[in-house]
Amino acid sequence: MRAAPSPTPSSSERGGNARNGPGRRRRLWSIAAAALLAAGTIAPASTAHAEPTLQEVMLVGNNWEGTADVIKSTGDFAKVGRINLVPDKSERLREIYMDPIRLIFFLGIRETVGEGHDQFVDDMYTTPDGSAIVVSRPSFGDVASIDTATGKLKWRFRVSGYRADHMAVSPDGSRVAVSASTGNTVHVLDIRTGRQIGSFATGDKPHENVFTRDGKIWNMSIGEVNNDFDAPWQDFLKGDRKITVADAQTLKVVKTIDMRERLNAFPGGKDFSDSVRPVAFTPDESKMYFQVSFFNGFFEYDVAADRITRMKTLPKNPATSDDRDTFVNDSRHHGMSMDPDGTKLCIAGTMDDYATVVDRTTLQEGPLVPASKPYWATVSGDGKACVISESGADQVTAIDFATGRKITSVPVGDHPQRVRIAHLPAGWTGPTG
């Protein structure tokens, strides 16, 4: 509601003296308006088009189910609501089954990385105003925007190739980068409209994306993870694996990092895969920690020196087979995050069925928290906890960074993977449509 206009003076008032003239009346009106505003009777004009009030939450992507559970970002991490991220499922399936090539890839995703299931939700972020969730949908090979008020599709973007994978959102929330894993491309889209701003080429099977504060996008290509050439001596058959660093504005590639060379230069590093999986940067972005295929542990990489400085081997679960062919998508451990102070790392020990908090100075791990195939690790809204997705138990679990102990677990949908901090309108509990 706009503030009422100042009263128009009558003809007899226009010629009044200084004491009772327009200037004094305007001052009196200003005093009266301020009193009404303080009492809540009128609203200031500047708030007429104010942005909606938002609540901070976490999105949990249920990959095989095609939904996202929304939970609180702190405290007890209780359920807030749920949204269907494949409202156009019937239409997409009809298109796929009418295209023989797309159908081959669709079924291939199901039988390989999907472990016999279709992959409907990989990664997701909210728009800055909380009006939509933008989601990458591997089996559909697209990025889609879902209206958080109605649950309806707002826009979709077909990625190059046939599968969409990990995403990242720019620091200002306006752009989203998505890996087209069979197209060897990263697309950068306007998060509100889905319009492609640009793209850049990567190595084979682009995976993790990270926007850094110095205006770069880092992409990690993991190579072929679906073949059976898993023995160390067959590593060269896994494809072109590298880190591609692009300018976030121009999308020109400014640097490529072949981690094979850095691993070979590190004592004992020749025995490890150069397929870089999830990463975590220190707050000042001087160090990057990264996981690689088949390894129960991680490496520390000095960004300025361009070399690996430390390696941490984490405990094996005696019940976990060392047969590499049994590791899901070649990832023995998949998921890591760092607390806001940069003092602790949280590691998802995927095939070893635990998560643990590691001291970054000493690299000493804390208690091994039992977890069923944990597949991702995210920091809570207040920075006090690590939240992992337990894809084998259909729940997320919060772990205290300070003690390394479990806080709580919350049931979610079928095969949770990515967990992201998000913002939705205050009071949101699900679409009304």
Token reading at 213: 């504060």
Reference 211, options 182, 174, 242; nearest CA is 174
Q: Contact at 8 Å (CB) between 48 and 3? A: no
Read off the pLDDT of residues 186-222 as tens digits, 9 standing for 90 and up: 999 999 999 999 999 999 999 999 999 999 999 999 9
Read off the pLDDT of residues 278-294 as tens digits, 9 standing for 90 and up: 999 999 999 999 999 99
Q: How many residues does the chain have?
A: 433
Q: Where are the alpha helices (DSSP H) in 234-281?
A: 259-265
Strand ranges for 213-333 from DSSP E: 216-221, 243-247, 253-257, 276-281, 287-292, 297-302, 307-313
Mean pLDDT to the nearest integer, 369-395: 98
Read off φ and ψ for residue 409, nearest 5 degrees: -125, 145
Q: Which of 1-15, 142-156, 198-212, 394-408 has the lowest mean pLDDT?
A: 1-15
Q: Contact at 8 Å (CB) between 390 and 374? A: yes
The residues, any chain, with a CB within 8 Å of residue 338's CB and separated by 6 or more, are 280, 281, 282, 283, 289, 344, 345, 346, 360, 379
Residue 11, pLDDT > 60, answer no
Rounded to an integer, what distance in angstroms lies between the CA atom of residue 253 and that of residue 198? 12
The single residue listed with the structure tokens 């039988």 is 111
The DSSP call for residue 42 is S
Mean pLDDT of the chain: 89
Model pLDDT, residue 42: 38
> Between these two residues, 42 and 357, which has the higher pLDDT value?
357
Mean pLDDT to the nearest integer, 128-154: 98
Model pLDDT, residue 324: 86
Rounded to an integer, what distance in angstroms lies between the CA atom of residue 115 and that of residue 134? 24
Q: 178 pLDDT band (50/70/90 cuts)?
A: very high
Rounded to an integer, what distance in angstroms lies between the CA atom of residue 154 and that of residue 405? 41
Ordered by where they begin, the domains of the chain are 11-46 (no CATH), 51-425 (2.130.10.10)
Read off the pLDDT of residues 63-98 as tens digits, 9 standing for 90 and up: 999 999 999 999 999 999 999 999 999 999 999 999
**Furthest-apart CA pair in the chain: how many Å?**
100
Mean pLDDT to the nearest integer, 264-282: 95
Reference 378, options 278, 289, 248; nearest CA is 278
Reference 59, options 347, 294, 389; nearest CA is 389
